[in-house]
Amino acid sequence: MKKLFILIFISSGVLGYSQEMTKVDTVAVNLLSKMSTVIGELTSVTFNLETANDKMNDLRENERHFSTHKIQMVGPDKMAVHSKGDSGNKAIWYNGEILTYYSFDENNYVSLEAPDNIIDMVDDINNRFGIDFPGADIFYPSLVDDVLENFEFVKYLGFKTVDEEECFHVMASNKHMTFQIWINNNAMFTPKRFLIIDKENGHKHYQGTFSNWNINPILPESMFNFRPPTSAKLISILAKS
Amino acid sequence: MIPLQKTHISLAFLFTLMMFILPEQLEAQRMRHSASRTPSRNVSRPTSRPKTTTRPQSTNRQTRPTTRPKTTTPSTRNRSINGGSNRGANKKVTRPTTSNKTTNRRTSNVKNRTTDRSVNRSGNNKVGNRNRVGNNNVKIDRSRNVTINRRNTVVRPSYRPYRRPPYRYGGFYYYCHRPYFYHPYTPFYWGPYYRPWGYFVTSIATTAIIVSIVNDSNAKEEDKEEYHYENGTYYMKTEDGFVAVQAPVGAQVPDIPDEAEKVVIDESNKDNYYYAGAFYEKNNQGYIVVPATAGTIVPNLPEGGEEVKIGEQTYVQFGDTYYQPIQVDGKDMYEIVQVTDQEK
């Protein structure tokens, strides 16, 4: 009992210090955790995502680019993304072995050997070639730990309405970045919207709004295999480092 | 008491760990995600549902077994889209292995800037399979061995400053005066005398002249490379004959084909010409091959280039020279890119 008391004392000291320094709201953490758990239990999913992304233009000003993405995933190793918008019309097919990145505008593509599961693939391809997967941050299984580790403040900001849907609003911030997420107040706790503000590079915004969630649908394997158009050109790709 | 104690030990350990873990870990996408926490393949996770459920016994109802039969629902975790949420623990997930799959699909040539720079910098025009440029679907005669001599593809910096911000990728800055405008790379045919790189002939005309190039200023006379020049084409001798190669920087020739086009390279108002991927400067003895200069705009590119995706953009690469597809007055052209590892 004495040992337990000492342990509680030490633990509460650490906790108290952490609470004071990190200012982590347990409600916010629970909401993120619930959302992350639900996502982790999905075996397949389709959804739409509308993104707004700031990019520096020729005038060295932030120019907002809008895109829409249709995303399909089947665990553990199938993914397809079709993106349209100001940054071009392009698609990704991943079948567990090969990732193909095809540009409809340029009618060329790169095919790359990829790891055998979605998260490792996203990590690998993004790190080696800088290819972005829209909304991928939200799908990392370590999202909650990453937020707790990298953000000083994690706060629940109350109920908000996004596209006429009631949502929980959670914000995390540190001196480099602000991350906000709106989580649907429904049984699935699906993410509705996220916003990432890069405080260091001209306060660039990256926002995504989810819609048309289809949970655990049956999707044919063939939709994750790419068959190049006869005129499409397979080109080389330069690794980032 | 024991579970409570374990909980606190875990919490204390977790928070202590969090204080020491540096955030400078693998960064994917926009937020920092730790790859080390990404579930790997071998540890099972406790199922969230109890395997057996005990119901309270009802006295008024028909007698039933109070314990539900053990349900063996197959775990969906193996098929999870992200391996399952793994908060606060090193939970690992057993995934079905896909290593036995075979892939017959062609994949892209992955180029690495550091590796590329280390090869063939000695400046020798080699004829062979090493450092072959290709792997694209342009109509290149695969029987030819096209080799890019990197010494001859070094780019001189632009003579005028860049007003447009560079395109950034992989720690490098790609400067161009004009905006990116993609059009497919189609090698140009310069006329009946044009011989693409790698073109092989058993003999050349007696009118061909011999051009000697010294790669290194400290090299001896016998280390000179000998080229045979004829109608804008440079040949190197092989065991069986002669093979067309890119123009060696520093080569002095008396004339160039009529198809050569005048190009603006700098403000010196010198007469500069472009033919089959080579840049010439007029002098008293005729024409001398000079390195490409960033910012120079050319209407066409020869065979031997390779389309390379660099981030979101597609350039045509010849050794160390990158050409950005652009449009000038509605016409498809290319601008030589200035690549630097530091922002200007």
pLDDT of B265 higher than 90: no
CB B88 within 8 A of CB B14: yes
Cβ separation B87–A110 shorter than 8 A: no
pLDDT of B306 higher than 50: yes
| pTM, two decimal places | 0.76
pLDDT of B86 higher than 60: yes
Q: What is the pLDDT of residues A118-155, one digit of tens each?
A: 999 999 999 999 999 999 999 999 999 999 999 999 99
For residue A64, what is the domain's CATH number?
A: 2.50.20.10
Q: Residue window 15-34, chain B: list those with CB within 8 Å of chain A.
A: 15-16, 18-19, 21, 23, 26-34
CA distance A143 to A132: 17
The residue that leads in pLDDT, B157 or B269, is: B157
* Largest pairwise CA distance in chain B: 115
CB B147 within 8 A of CB B130: yes
pLDDT of A38 higher than 60: yes
Distance from CA of B33 to the nearest CA of A (A): 6
Q: What value does the mean pLDDT take over residues B77-87?
A: 79
Residue B244's pLDDT band (cuts 50, 70, 90): very high
**A89: helix, coil or strand?**
coil
Residue A11 in any domain: the answer is no
Closest chain B residue by Cα to residue A230: B137
Closest chain B residue by Cα to residue A4: B5
Residue A165 in any domain: the answer is yes
pLDDT of B31 higher than 50: yes
The residue that leads in pLDDT, B36 or A85, is: A85
Distance from CA of B267 to the nearest CA of A (A): 24
Q: What is the pLDDT of residues B125-166, one digit of tens each?
A: 433 332 333 333 333 344 455 666 667 778 889 888 999 999
The lowest-confidence range among A5-19, A55-69, B263-277, B298-312 is A5-19
Q: What is the pLDDT of residues B194-223, one digit of tens each?
A: 888 889 999 888 888 898 776 555 556 656
| Token representation of residue A50 | 């509308």
Q: What is the mean pLDDT of chain B?
A: 72
Distance from CA of B335 to the nearest CA of A (A): 17
The pLDDT, as a whole number, for residue A73 is 96
Distance from CA of A114 to the nearest CA of B (A): 11
Q: Name the residue facing A141 among B31, B83, B310 (closest C-beta).
A: B83
Cβ separation B170–A130 shorter than 8 A: yes
The pLDDT, as a whole number, for residue B95 is 46
Closest CA to B257 of B230, B234, B283: B230
The residue that leads in pLDDT, B135 or B14, is: B14
CB A229 within 8 A of CB A107: yes
The pLDDT, as a whole number, for residue B151 is 72
The pLDDT, as a whole number, for residue B120 is 35
pLDDT of B287 higher than 80: yes
Cβ separation B113–A238 shorter than 8 A: yes
DSSP element (H, E) containing B316: strand B313-318
Residue A8 in any domain: the answer is no
**Percent of chain A, pLDDT > 70?**
91
Residue A13 in any domain: the answer is no
DSSP element (H, E) containing A13: helix A2-22
**Overall number of domains in chain A:** 1
Residue A9 in any domain: the answer is no
| Token representation of residue B3 | 């579970």
Closest chain B residue by Cα to residue A9: B8
User: How buried is A88 (Cβ within 10 angstroms: 0-12 exposed, 13-18 middle, 19+ buried)?
Assistant: middle
Strand order of the sheet with strand B200-201? B200-201, B242-245, B233-237, B225-230, B209-213
Residue B106's pLDDT band (cuts 50, 70, 90): confident
Name the residue ranges covered by the structural domains of chain B: 113-189+249-340
Cβ separation B81–A177 shorter than 8 A: no
pLDDT of A17 higher than 90: no
The pLDDT, as a whole number, for residue B220 is 60
Q: Is B96 on the interface with A (CB under 8 A)?
A: yes
Amino acid at B26: L
Q: Residue window 282-321, chain B: list those with CB within 8 Å of chain A.
A: 306-312, 314, 317
pLDDT of B188 higher than 90: yes
The pLDDT, as a whole number, for residue A136 is 92
Residue A162 in any domain: the answer is yes
Distance from CA of A107 to the nearest CA of B (A): 9
Residue B32's pLDDT band (cuts 50, 70, 90): low
Residue B271's pLDDT band (cuts 50, 70, 90): confident
Cβ separation A233–B29 shorter than 8 A: no
Residue A232's pLDDT band (cuts 50, 70, 90): very high
B35 contacts on A by Cβ (under 8 Å)? 123
Q: Which domain holds residue A162?
A: 24-234
| Token representation of residue A89 | 């019309």
Q: Is B79 on the interface with A (CB under 8 A)?
A: yes
Q: How many CB atoms lie within 10 A of CB B169?
A: 19
Phi-psi region of A2 (alpha: psi -120 to 50; beta: other; left: phi over 0): alpha
Q: Which of A30, A87, A117, A240 should be substituted to probe chain B, the one whose Cβ sees the most B Cβ atoms within 10 Å?
A: A117
Cβ separation B103–A97 shorter than 8 A: yes
**Percent of chain A, pLDDT > 90?**
85
Residue A19 in any domain: the answer is no
Closest CA to A14 of B99, B329, B17, B245: B17
Amino acid at B145: N
Cβ separation A122–B12 shorter than 8 A: no
The pLDDT, as a whole number, for residue B145 is 55
Residue A16 in any domain: the answer is no
User: How buried is A116 (Cβ within 10 angstroms: 0-12 exposed, 13-18 middle, 19+ buried)?
Assistant: middle
pLDDT of A191 higher than 70: yes
